[in-house]
Structure 1
């Protein structure tokens, strides 16, 4: 196959964040991009504004003389563009399979783990600001999930959910944790899951792991290690222009400052620092880390007048606990009296598999509002949420609205309450982000 420059590549499902990220990145590397999707969205419109030809909806005529077709995981063999590409003998790759070709020519800093990989990847992109980047969320530093630098190097957020991290060609590998998630991809076999992480780490020239994770601890003699409990000292939290920051000491490397609150923030930053220190001097790292100003939907403070509103992607118990702990710190510094958490559970299977942990996740909020579970394509499973979460006396709602900066809580057409002061945080990976922002 040709090199990336001038390669004609068509993306089916280009409106998804993962596929659009690849499209934007490859365009910056000189590829000629086209695409299609069932409907337009912000990502599609952004690509169109850059001159990318996009067909809405899918259409056989979108397939012309491209050198390669890449499709998202949701696209099936009966897609009309896939059929047309086969007729024309154009090579067809899934996103997972395309990674090997795209990243095989790059010096990749590859980050994976159940929690914290988007934040850690964005921090690394701030440190390696001369590299390109493809991450799973929008970095506020450069207003995108892609840093479109023409460079031999790339920071890449790898995905363990479909094993595609094994195709990410890591030169430097970072594992934030290895908590079992997406076990359907591993036949619900924990050893298969752990072996995939071993294979990922073994494929890198240098790797850094969080050994407070029980499984990663077993690999402590093979890689650069971070024990957040032992290696990070004197964490201090402070506000700068109403934004959250933390200051901490790391091993014998001195003091660092980074945007965000919480021990998990210091841990993510420390992993980024330690792997970066294998490639550059510590003073450059210390300075460049200050370029990081957060990512969209991760402790994303979207309103600071009257009612404080935070949007957060946390959808797993570990993430919710860490996020609410950080929220409590923020509220204390701002002298905010009450924290209301609005939780949209994400996937029935996740709720089922982690139910006891979810039941213990909300002690750091003063009020809990529970929305219907975001199905994510799954069949519905009934949970008696008022009973299961009775100790929090939750409000069970169907949806919320942001009405000019006031959060309204509804059950069907009935307005249950309006919140116009203190602090509200939305938790979940479904459409709660659009509800709380007033975009739905």
Structure 2
């Protein structure tokens, strides 16, 4: 692709984002000179710096490289950001992350995973299946794969596994050979306006599948019959109406063992060491893709058993006889439902304390009733103040709004320091920390207090 070949120096505004950092690693692997800005240092930016990428953390035009061939920004960056304004006003090539993914995937065999939740885990599982089996792929993940401690890797095989992000409709720039749709629940209504428009976008995404291509979609999706491709498989946790589903599920030594049953094939005794019943369903989607592209049952079984999960997706930050601390990215009511039911499937006799940080004022406002119903399923709930990300505050939209809608009497809003004090005093046996903001920075201190 000539656009890519012309790039010798590239700059990222928001380089520490999970999707942006994968692209930064891609260009670094191609010996392109990479630099960037982010507002705060994180373990991820430190890793990028250690790989030779220059990063600064202040919004300063005088710190910018002036001879870059392209500038990439994330939609989370405000339009008035000084660096973004400078590059635009001076006629640099300024593009979104989704544009660069479009350039990268124009000449490859693409497996694109979309969905309002579940996509990061399914993408990581598929990429791991292809890597572990020796099939090979280039992977662009929306999370850190625990097996490899990275969100990107390259391979000489011209196959790309990529997370297809519905935010800002960016997934419509991709052209899949194989597409996966995990969920089409209402989200990003600040972009789409209505739940119907979210579904319409996913239908458009399915229409991008190349002629003769394959679509794997969750069974029972509303308007799922409008998703279409030459080869279309539906998958389910255990609904036998789906084309592929799980059967004979057991829990052995804290892991799941199950059979994967399809119309024309089955794989016996698949072992998944990642917690959460929803992750059995995620693995079925990944296995269906692996079978479609011709990976053998033995290699699939071995790869799934070796999969160690994704950072912040049902991740055990601490697990011993005294305490269990689970860290999860869940930031949508359906994700919280799946997380809580997954925890209950393994720790059914323990009191479940959930610490949740709402993400975005708009999402909290749009889905307040559903959030309250999800949170009510925990035994005790502690809410952090809303993490604003790219938004300004909205009048009347606070964590107290969720509290007021909950029926569970064991609920409170605490700041980060107050949560540490509470944990030190109460030492809960089972604590789940969830959210897509900066709650992950609290996991380490809580683990220390419990240890």
Using a 3 Å threshold, how does the CA distance of structure 1 residues 20 and 358 change in structure 2: closer, same or farther? same
Aligned to 1:258: 272
Instruction: Give distance in 1, aligned partners of 2:157 and 2:90.
Output: 33
Q: TM-score, normalised by structure 2?
A: 0.85
| Counterpart Cα distance in 2 of 1:196 and 1:298 | 26
Cα 1:6–1:350 shift into 2, 3 Å: closer
2-side partners of 1:111 and 1:59: how far apart?
A: 37
Show the 5 A alignment for 1:126-205: 126-129=128-131, 130-188=136-194, 190=196, 192-204=197-209, 205=213
1:114 aligned residue (116, 127, 135): 116
Alignment partner of 2:292: what SS? coil
Q: Give 5+ residue unaligned stretches, structure 2.
A: none
Show the counterpart of 2:429: 422
Determine if the alignment matches structure 1 residue 225 to structure 2 residue 238. Answer: no
The aligned residue for residue 393 of structure 2 is: 379
User: Cα gap change, 1:220/1:53 in structure 2, threshold over 3 Å: closer, same or farther?
Assistant: closer
CA distance in 2, matches of 1:401, 1:238: 38
| Alignment correspondent of 2:21 | 20
Do 2:357 and 2:434's aligned partners in 1 also have CA atoms closer than 8 Å?
A: yes
CA offsets, 1:40-98, max 9 Å, x none? 33222211111123344343453333221112223455544445545664321122222
Contact kept, 8 Å, 1:137 with 1:296, in 2: the verdict is yes
How many residues matched? 423
Which range is displaced more, 248-257 or 376-385?
376-385
CA contact (8 A) 1:24 1:148 kept: no
CA drift at 1:171: 1.8
Distance 1:186 1:366 in 2: 34
Deviation string 1:152-172 (CA, Å, 9 cap, x unpaired) is 222111110111111123221
Partner in structure 1 of residue 323 of structure 2: 307
Q: CA RMSD in A?
A: 2.8
**Alpha-carbon distance in 1 for matches of 2:160, 2:67:** 29
CA distance in 2, matches of 1:397, 1:137: 28
Alpha-carbon offset, residue 299 of structure 1: 1.0
Distance 1:5 1:42, change over 3 A: farther
1:239 and 2:250 matched: no
**Residues 278-324 of structure 1, C-alpha deviation per residue, up to 9 Å, x if partnerless?**
21233222222223111111111111233211111112221111111
SS of 1:319's partner is helix
CA distance in 1, matches of 2:227, 2:108: 26
Establish whether residue 287 from structure 1 lines up as the match of residue 292 from structure 2: no
Secondary structure at 1:277 match in 2: helix
- 1:370 — aligned with what? 383
Who is 1:413 aligned against? none
Aligned-pair distance for 1:113? 0.3
In 2, Cα distance between the equivalents of 1:151 and 1:32?
24
Equivalent residues in 2 for 1:398-409 (5 A)?
398-400=414-416, 408-409=421-422
Q: Does the 8 Å CA contact 1:9/1:67 hold for their aligned counterparts?
A: yes
Change beyond 3 A, Cα 1:435–1:323: same
Whole-Å separation in 2 of the counterparts to 1:85 and 1:265: 42
Q: Match for 1:344 among 353, 357, 361? A: 357
State how 1:325-340 maps to structure 2 within 5 Å: 325-332=341-348, 337-340=350-353
The whole-number CA distance in structure 1 between the counterparts of 2:78 and 2:387 is 23
Local SS of the residue matching 1:425? strand
SS of 1:301's equivalent in the other structure is strand
**CA 1:273/1:38 → structure 2, altered by over 3 Å: closer, same or farther?**
same
State which drifts further: 261-270 or 52-61: 52-61
Q: Which residue of 1 aligns with 2:45?
A: 44
Contact 1:111–1:120 (CA under 8 A) maintained in structure 2 = yes
Q: Among 211, 221, 230, which residue is 1:213 paired with?
A: 221
Contact 1:28 1:150 in 2 (8 A): no
SS at match of 1:438: helix
- Kindly tell me: are residues 279 and 324 of structure 1, through their superposed partners in 2, closer, same or farther at Cα, counting changes over 3 Å? same
* TM-score of the pair, normalised by structure 1: 0.87
Does structure 1 retain, via aligned residues, the 8 Å contact 2:354–2:378? Answer: yes
Q: Do the aligned residues in 1 keep the contact of 2:98 with 2:170 (CA within 8 Å)?
A: yes
Q: 1:273 aligns with which of 264, 281, 287?
A: 287
2:319 corresponds to 1:319: no
* Residues 300-352 of structure 1 deviation map (CA, whole Å, 9 limit, x = unaligned): 111123321111111222111111111112214xxx53221222222333233
